[in-house]
Amino acid sequence: MASRRYFGTDGIRGRVGEPPISADFMLRLGRAAGSVLKSLGGDGSVVIGKDTRLSGYMFESALEAGLIAAGADVRLLGPMPTPAVAYLTRATGASAGIVISASHNPHHDNGVKFFSSAGEKLSDEIEAAIEDEIEQPFATVDPGLLGKAMRLRDAHERYLEFVRSTVPPGFGLDGVRIVVDGANGANYRLGPQLLERLGATVIAIGHEPDGLNINDGCGTMHPETLAARVVAEGADVGIAFDGDGDRVLLIDATGHVLDGDDLLFLLARDRAETGTLRGPVVGTLMTNHGLALALDALGIPFLRAAVGDRYVHRLLVESGGVLGGEASGHVLILDRASTGDALVSALAALEVWRRRGDSLSAVRSAWTRLVQRTRNVRVARGARPLESPTVAAAHADAEARLAGRGRLVLRPSGTEPVVRVTVEADDPALVDAILASLGDAVESAA
């Protein structure tokens, strides 16, 4: 991945209008992707979905034109969650799926993610081939071989039926009062619709997208908005999605957040007790160490992958596991969906909660979370502060101070120009002191 020009850990992402997030680049990207996909066999058809960003219209049209120029047929889904595109790519037999989204980022960012015909992230090799093809002169196939475009009119219903099929047929939410925060994003309509069909009383917030308010003070990036509304409404639970619908957080009736680590514990414990857990649970370098200790106490193996759901997925496949995720709310349940799916994960958690009869607050208190804090140090693009001797010395000092008491993670973000400094320990004062000294060292070298 180090030699990549465009693809990062989660597709291609950046500020709209700045390379490579421009209409002309998307035109070239569409042609390159179409050319590579056609060369791999199959019909080369592609489904395209997007979140609710205003810039999505521009990039949808550009990608569509580029793909058609390469001879690939296009099925347009309109605003759809990222995991819905993954599902519909498989269900329609398409060669690939494209999502136009910058996930949890503000509206002025956008990006592109690709899915394979199996509904999984593209391999590094195919991404590299697409990057190579982008650099080639733009060429259009013979006019008689151009692709065609059509809208998939029943996309929403097909996806909702799929999600509903992932829980037992008798599962319902009658009598449950739920506040749903759609983040003014791709799940703004589908989330409430699904829960209402299951019998829940739904109060929807973050459900009025205008192209500019995606993730703005709402959704998984701002769960405090939902938490306050859950308490004010006297609701049983709150559900927060992110802008593209692959992350989910729950809020208990007291207004406390259950993040991805909590959801992994809830699902892993239940599966272990019911004999339906296969393989290890997979988290990331950022997964709270307290969760690893709690799973170990239950006899559940736990592995850490690099940060990013594609790496969690890869390690799950390699290790024969089915359950993994990140604290941010990406939860993968591979025997139910091929990628992280916020609606599938939410239903899985609600089904366990209803069947066991436990309060969601009890899940939070069932394992002990170590203090974990992160400082994001902004750096100039191309800067390499982690190679600085000063940072190396500060890092070694921090490791010595944490020995036997916690751990730290120092890593560049794969989606924005920051270095994330994360410190975890049993003592908040120690965490703060190390975070300050190590963060300052990175900042001075940036």
Read off the pLDDT of residues 145-182 as tens digits, 9 standing for 90 and up: 999 999 999 999 999 999 999 999 999 999 999 999 99
Note the pLDDT tens digit of each residue in 416-432.
Answer: 789 999 999 989 999 99
CA dist., res. 398 & res. 250, Å (int): 34
Within the chain, which residue ranges are assigned CATH 3.40.120.10? 12-153, 175-257, 259-341+355-365
Note the pLDDT tens digit of each residue in 10-22.
Answer: 899 999 999 999 9
Catalytic-role residue among 45, 103, 338, 345: 103
> Helix or strand or coil: residue 284?
strand
175-257: CATH number: 3.40.120.10
Print burial letters for 274-309: b (CB count within 10 Å at least 16), e (below 16): eeebebbbbbbbbbbbbbbebbeeeebebbbbbbbb
Q: Mean pLDDT throughout 348-354?
A: 97
Give this prediction's pTM.
0.90
> How many helical (H) and strand (E) elements, i.e. helices and strands, does the chain have?
14, 18
Instruction: Give me the sign of the Cα torsion angle 422, 221, 333, 230.
Output: positive
165 is catalytic: no
CA dist., res. 209 & res. 183, Å (int): 8
Q: Does domain 12-153 have CATH number 3.40.120.10?
A: yes
CA dist., res. 442 & res. 446, Å (int): 6
- In which band, very low, low, confident or very high, does the pLDDT at 28 lie, cut at 50, 70 and 90? very high
Strand partners, 179: 203, 238
Architecture of the domain defined by 259-341+355-365: 3-Layer(aba) Sandwich (3.40)
Exposure on the CB side of residue 48, measured as CA atoms within 13 A = 30
Say if residues 166 and 347 touch (Cβ distance below 8 Å).
Answer: yes
pLDDT > 70: what percent of the chain?
Answer: 99
CATH entry, 371-445, from 3.30.9.10, 3.40.920.10, 3.30.310.50, 3.40.50.2300: 3.30.310.50
Residue 2 pLDDT exceeds 60: no
Of 64, 67, 10, 13, the closest CA to residue 43 belongs to 67
Least confident interval from 52-56, 268-272, 423-427: 423-427
